[in-house]
Structure 1
Amino acid sequence: MMEKEKSILKTLAPYNSRQSSRQMHVFPLLISSLLSSLFLLFLSYSSSSSSSSSLILSHSAVAHADFCSGRYLYVYDLPDKFNAGILRDCRTIFPWVDMCPYVANMGLGPHLNETGSVLTGDGWHITNQWVLEVIFHNRIRQYECLTANSSQADAFFVPYYVGLDTGRNLWRPNITLLERDSLLVELFQLLKSRPEWSAKGGRDHFILSGRATWDLQRDDDRGNQWGGKLLMLPEVKNMTVLLIESNAWARNEFAIPYPTNFHPSNESHVVTWQAKVRSTNRPWLFSFAGARRPGQAGSIRDQLFHQCLKSIRCKLLDCASAGSNCDIPVTTMSLFQSSSFCLQPPGDTPTRRSAFDSMLAGCIPVFFTPHSAYTQYQWYLPNNYSEYSVYIPDDEVREGRVSIEEVLLKYSEEEIGNMKEKVVSMIPTLIYKDPSYKLESVRDAFDVAVDGVLRRVKSIIGN
């Protein structure tokens, strides 16, 4: 019996020896007193339990703090004209393409409902290759270690859609170079007025462009030069810049994957897709999807067309021919799934979105210049490029000194199998998840990019 109960009973004991007429009154008093005592004990226990719950919550908060220590991001809340306003003006982004369907749905584009047997499963969209800024911005809103306290932040993200802004001004008639970069100049006036920028001069800040580095390197405002000048601003030299294609010699530029059409919303979509491409029958030794570049000096595409057309082991998809449907994901992914090797020559610049589409299909990429992948996506691709790809120097192909087919035939089935498995294992970190969902067990291209930024900031400014 509890001490408090014993004390109560002892106090009531004298009353128990009295005449029975009074016992009828004593008994209810005893019951009432016992209930009161038990109620007090319950309150005492409840208070103790509450303290334990607080302790548990405290431990949970500490665990989250430990998890986020060194990983806190602060996202600037910029005026709409730097991001959402550009999307509202989506019909002006490209003069020949209505980008409104592509910037919708958080940048994923229209949902692809009819996937057939080629794109088995959910998570497929028609995603434009220039919309990475929109996808990344929506993904960062789901980041688990965001902070509204800028003094707590380890890195600062500037959500300005510089690639889309630059792109819409490249072909706008009667616009001066100063007008082309007016929003960019205004942005940095705003940033430099903020204490977050002043604290470290922007060295802990990062920005993203969905265009290649070469579109953002205009060095002055004279004449009719190409591109914007983001990367030439002295302030930007302190920042970390993420792009779909970087300048390999720029210390602050880092390439991250082009967006593909696959944006899974749960872990099973990823696993199911990987299992599918592992087991797909591949009747073609190699394939090429693309168009010739007749006016491009140094292009090897004519040679690729020539070599593929004369080989019984190669499948060609001429994207310049009528009805080729290269913009339809089912068409290109069907080709890549049926091929062991996929040729990835330079396009307008050294890199191609097609390289990521082909790896998504489990096809081993064949590169012809190191700048198509090896000097670019160093946070994503193995340093030993022979683990997942084949390299054939472009000058040997251009001069007709090498047969692509003969090179590829030298690989044994075991070697091809090992390389394909490496490609398939890389798929999760080469895609961007659907920003509407959290996939805690799958690290995607966004996660790799953020980790890379945080490592760089730490190396520059210390803990």
Structure 2
Amino acid sequence: MLRYGCLTNDSSDAAAVFVPFYAGFDFARHHWGYDNATRDAASLDLERWLVRRPEWRRAGGRDHFLVAGRTAWDFRRHTCPSPTWGTNLLFLPAAKNMTVLVVESSTAPSHGNDMAVPYPTYFHPRADADVLHWQQRIKSTRRPWLMSFVGAPRPGDPRSIRSQIIAQCGASSACRQLGCANGATQCHTPGDIMRLFQSSTFCLQPPGDSYTRRSAFDAMVAGCVPVFFHPASAYLQYRWHLPGDHARYSVFIPEDAVRVGNVSIEDTLRRIPGAAVRRMQEEVITLVPRLVYADPRYSLDTVKDAF
């Protein structure tokens, strides 16, 4: 943002005003071992400070935006399953007027002001050439695995289909997975993850703690076609960054069919014509620039990144 070409120090001349509040850090600082009043204290301080600013009075905050590096649910405690999860930042009257950028939106039309932007991935280009070279690399890479999965099961979540996906992948000679249970270090090693995604045609992306996951963006940046099992994982959000026609870049398999064992993921993917698979791969590779964030120490010339 500091390298944006149209910054101004004159707030009366600004079309948009950035709110310098780091809601994700505030969440982490007071989430565990504190009461709700403590969790909400900084957000309330922010609101009191904002509404006294001359910039706020101009449009009631409708030209303000805030960037929160977590999901919207972490700032909507009132509608979360747990009465002690997160803060109530997005329910404050002032926050309802602002646009809030999060890595996953609440997807509820009634909320309206939280917008999903891509999770940061492992790739932060320094120049246009970095992006173009990467696109050529993933286009020409050999992909011996039909499908892959990186993740851990959710045994305590009856809604999760991760166990079924892990079982189907384990039973298939065309699937490879990295298990992330019990503190497995390989899931925190960028090279292992990206090498697997680059060697896979399809990457399985079931919901995790929330509907979407960072892995979906790592997979697409690796040129792997994402397979989603819930529409909220991508289709109901990321409107600025992903095509409205989700069949152009992804595959959808209903999670209920996987949960009850009525569908074979491998068979479903093998039935997709080769020409259709190639079109999806080409679309994913085309999407790469808008899914990555450039190294903030450098500026891209003609390539437009996620920012």
Structure 1 length normalisation: TM-score?
0.64
Q: 2:87 aligns with which of 228, 244, 260?
A: 228
> Which residue of 2 is the match for residue 237 of structure 1?
96
> Which residue of 1 is the match for residue 195 of structure 2?
334
Q: 2:143 aligns with which of 282, 289, 297?
A: 282
> Which residue of 1 is the match for residue 45 of structure 2?
186
The separation in 2 between residues aligned to 1:265 and 1:238, in whole angstroms, is 35
The separation in 2 between residues aligned to 1:236 and 1:286, in whole angstroms, is 41
Alignment of 1:367-382 (within 5 A): 367-382=228-243
Distance 1:412 1:292, change over 3 A: same
The separation in 2 between residues aligned to 1:335 and 1:160, in whole angstroms, is 37
The separation in 2 between residues aligned to 1:218 and 1:333, in whole angstroms, is 34
1:443 partner amino acid: K
> Which residue of 2 is the match for residue 30 of structure 1?
none
1:210 partner amino acid: G
The separation in 2 between residues aligned to 1:339 and 1:444, in whole angstroms, is 24
Question: Which is greater in Rg?
Answer: 1
Contact 1:265 1:439 in 2 (8 A): yes
Offset at residue 218 of structure 1 (A) = 2.1
Find the residue that maps to 1:189 and give its secondary structure: helix
More RCO (CA 8 Å, sep 6+) = 2
Q: 1:198 aligns with which of 27, 41, 57?
A: 57
Moved over 2 A (4+): 321-324
The separation in 1 between residues aligned to 2:279 and 2:120, in whole angstroms, is 25
The separation in 1 between residues aligned to 2:78 and 2:183, in whole angstroms, is 39
> Which residue of 2 is the match for residue 408 of structure 1?
269
Q: Is residue 226 of structure 2 the alignment partner of residue 351 of structure 1? A: no
Find the residue that maps to 2:181 and give its secondary structure: coil
> Which residue of 2 is the match for residue 153 of structure 1?
14
> Which residue of 1 is the match for residue 35 of structure 2?
176
Contact 1:317 1:324 in 2 (8 A): no
> Which residue of 2 is the match for residue 54 of structure 1?
none
Offset at residue 323 of structure 1 (A) = 5.1
The separation in 2 between residues aligned to 1:293 and 1:392, in whole angstroms, is 19
Q: Gaps (5+ residues) in structure 1?
A: 1-139, 447-463
Offset at residue 161 of structure 1 (A) = 0.5
The separation in 2 between residues aligned to 1:179 and 1:287, in whole angstroms, is 42
Q: Is residue 75 of structure 2 the alignment partner of residue 216 of structure 1? A: yes
Find the residue that maps to 2:69 and give its secondary structure: strand
The separation in 2 between residues aligned to 1:262 and 1:295, in whole angstroms, is 33
1:312-344 Cα distance to aligned partner (Å, 9 max, x none): 111121111675511111000011011000000
The separation in 2 between residues aligned to 1:348 and 1:243, in whole angstroms, is 15
> Which residue of 1 is the match for residue 132 of structure 2?
271
Contact 2:51 2:94 in 1 (8 A): no
Find the residue that maps to 1:180 and give its secondary structure: helix
Q: Is residue 101 of structure 2 the alignment partner of residue 253 of structure 1? A: no
Offset at residue 164 of structure 1 (A) = 1.2
The separation in 2 between residues aligned to 1:179 and 1:285, in whole angstroms, is 49
Find the residue that maps to 2:26 and give its secondary structure: helix
Alignment of 1:305-454 (within 5 A): 305-320=166-181, 325-446=186-307
1:165 partner amino acid: D
Find the residue that maps to 1:147 and give its secondary structure: coil
2:267 partner amino acid: E
Distance 1:396 1:157, change over 3 A: same
Offset at residue 176 of structure 1 (A) = 2.8
The separation in 2 between residues aligned to 1:181 and 1:356, in whole angstroms, is 31
The separation in 1 between residues aligned to 2:43 and 2:184, in whole angstroms, is 40
* 184-193 vs 334-343, greater mean Cα deviation: 184-193
Contact 1:368 1:393 in 2 (8 A): yes
Contact 1:318 1:324 in 2 (8 A): no
Distance 1:232 1:389, change over 3 A: same
The separation in 2 between residues aligned to 1:218 and 1:323, in whole angstroms, is 30
Find the residue that maps to 1:346 and give its secondary structure: coil
1:259-310 Cα distance to aligned partner (Å, 9 max, x none): 0011111111111111000000001111111111100121101110111111
1:355 partner amino acid: A
Find the residue that maps to 1:325 and give its secondary structure: helix
The separation in 2 between residues aligned to 1:292 and 1:427, in whole angstroms, is 28
Find the residue that maps to 1:214 and give its secondary structure: helix
The separation in 2 between residues aligned to 1:336 and 1:277, in whole angstroms, is 10
Contact 1:242 1:254 in 2 (8 A): yes
Offset at residue 188 of structure 1 (A) = 1.5
Contact 2:178 2:186 in 1 (8 A): no
Distance 1:199 1:323, change over 3 A: closer
Distance 1:432 1:216, change over 3 A: same
Offset at residue 224 of structure 1 (A) = 5.9
Contact 2:147 2:201 in 1 (8 A): yes
Find the residue that maps to 2:70 and give its secondary structure: strand
1:241-262 Cα distance to aligned partner (Å, 9 max, x none): 1110101122111100000011
Find the residue that maps to 1:294 and give its secondary structure: coil
The separation in 1 between residues aligned to 2:178 and 2:40, in whole angstroms, is 39
